[in-house]
Every structure is written in C-alpha cells, then in structure tokens.
C-alpha cells in the first residue's frame, strides 16, 4: 500500500444472497483527494461506502485505511480506526429522539474524556461551520431536508476525521441547497486535506468536488480516472455518466429530428 493512500480497496467483492453487488473492485484515495463514485442505481455505490467503514464485511478482498486492514479489525481497534472517518448518510440519519445538540454531544460524551465546556465548544464550532448554530435545541423532525444533511455533516465532523465518506449529499435537495452542501465538503477537503469518497448522481457537484471518478456498472469498476480522462472512455456507460449525455429512445428521436 502506498504511504500516500488514505483508503485502498483491493479486489473487493460483495454479494447479498444470489446477487453480486460488487465484483473485484480496486481503487485508492490519497490524502486530500476526493473520489466521486458514479453509477446507475443499484450498482453497489452505497455498499462500497459501508464496506470502507466496516459496516459490512466483504466476501473477498481487502480494505486498507492508512496502515490498518479494517476488514480484520474488531472491538476497540475497529472503533479506533472508525473514529478517523466521518460518514454523512443519505438521509442524515440523525437520532430522532435527541435534539441536534445531543446528536452531536452523544459520541463526544461517550467516547472522549473531554470536559463539558470542551464538548460545548466543539458543538458550537461545528454547528457554526454548517450554519446551524441557532438550531441546536431543535429536534430532527423540525429541520428541513437541507438542514438535516448539514446537521448530519456536523455530526460526522465532531471527531475532526481525516476521511469523509459521503452518501448522496445532494439527493432530494434543490440546486442552491445542494451547492451549499458541496461548498461545505469542498471546505473540508481544502482546509483539512480530508480524503473523501462521495457517492453521487449529481454530475455538477461531482465535477466541483471530485479529483477522480470511479464508475461502477453492475458491481464492476468500469472506469477510474479524472473526469477529462473518462469523457472519452471506451465504455459507453462511463461516457454517458461522466459526460452527462442524455440518451434513450426519446432523446435519440429528438436528436435525429433536430
């Protein structure tokens, strides 16, 4: 494994029952680099993130986080490595019985020896970063979709992780709000030099955030490189996903008639 790599997937495969979700996938992410994972729905993009965080175990292959092979870790060792990573879930996944403040305070109280004042300081700082400082006593159901995403990001940042895993940051959001979330992620990437894996369908956001793209199709990695490299890729699915080419029978018909 290269000393520069934060994350490395080595020939990873995963299936659920008969369905092969990932098939021999390998790629790596360097420190300060953002990789965007593109692909059609159901091609194993979110599963990739969960494998990196060891929420799922691969059937074959290895996943390295720095010098640690996370698939082999358990208990305190796994916990130590996970604390290097922040995960922004697609839905935000805030604990719905806790206020926004307590959502952030819970892991800090349980996993660190920080004083109450220090914890309050961290909460104020990260909520300030996502512009939710005035909403910390609100319950998750009182927050809009965009606010929940930002709150989820704030919670992912409480341990100041050097790796960020982001699942569909812009899904269900309008273009302006999605762009604000992208700004926050860009800030993390530039300021903290976090390594990121971003699963997205939003090509506009992907082009802003991603240094390189991973393109998955039917569980296989069909393209890996910079957006410019992939625009002229031999694989049609890669070209369509990276180039944002609209196609299908209707678009073909419109194209031929114009």
Residues at the contact surface with another protein, assessed by CB under 8 A: 50, 53, 55, 79-80, 82-83, 85-87, 89-91, 93-96, 106-107, 110-111, 155-156, 159
Residue 159 beta carbon to another protein: minimum distance, rounded to whole angstroms: 8
Minimum CB distance to another protein smaller for 195 or for 215: 195
Minimum CB distance to another protein smaller for 106 or for 139: 106
Residue 90 beta carbon to another protein: minimum distance, rounded to whole angstroms: 8
Q: Give the total residue count for the chain.
A: 258
Does residue 29 contact residue 7 with C-beta atoms inside 8 Å? yes
Minimum CB distance to another protein smaller for 8 or for 155: 155
Residue 123 beta carbon to another protein: minimum distance, rounded to whole angstroms: 14
Minimum CB distance to another protein smaller for 161 or for 219: 161
CA 112/CA 100 separation, integer angstroms: 19
């Amino acid at each position: 494994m290269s000393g520069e790599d934060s994350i490395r997937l080595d020939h990873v495969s995963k299936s659920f029952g008969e369905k092969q979700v990932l098939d021999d996938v390998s790629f790596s992410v360097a420190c300060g680099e953002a990789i965007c994972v593109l692909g059609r729905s159901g091609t194993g993009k979110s599963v990739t993130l969960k494998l990196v965080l060891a929420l799922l175990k691969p059937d074959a292959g290895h996943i390295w986080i720095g010098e640690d092979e996370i698939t082999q870790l358990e208990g305190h060792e796994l916990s130590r490595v996970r604390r290097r990573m922040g995960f922004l879930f697609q839905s935000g996944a805030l604990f719905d019985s806790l206020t926004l403040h307590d959502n952030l305070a819970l892991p800090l109280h349980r996993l660190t020896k920080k004083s109450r004042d220090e914890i309050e300081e961290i909460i104020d700082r990260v909520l300030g970063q996502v512009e939710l400082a005035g909403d910390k006593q609100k319950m998750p159901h009182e927050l809009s979709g965009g606010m929940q995403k930002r709150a989820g990001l704030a919670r992912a940042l409480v341990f100041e992780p050097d790796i960020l895993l982001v699942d569909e940051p812009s899904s269900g959001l309008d273009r302006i709000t999605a762009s604000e979330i992208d700004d926050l992620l860009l800030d993390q990437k530039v300021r903290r030099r976090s390594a990121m894996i971003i699963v997205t369908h939003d090509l506009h956001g992907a082009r802003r955030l991603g240094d390189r793209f991973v393109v998955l199709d039917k569980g296989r990695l069909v393209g890996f490189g910079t957006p410019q490299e992939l625009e002229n890729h031999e694989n049609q699915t890669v070209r369509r996903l990276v180039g944002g080419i609209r196609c299908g029978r209707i678009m073909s018909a419109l194209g031929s008639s114009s």
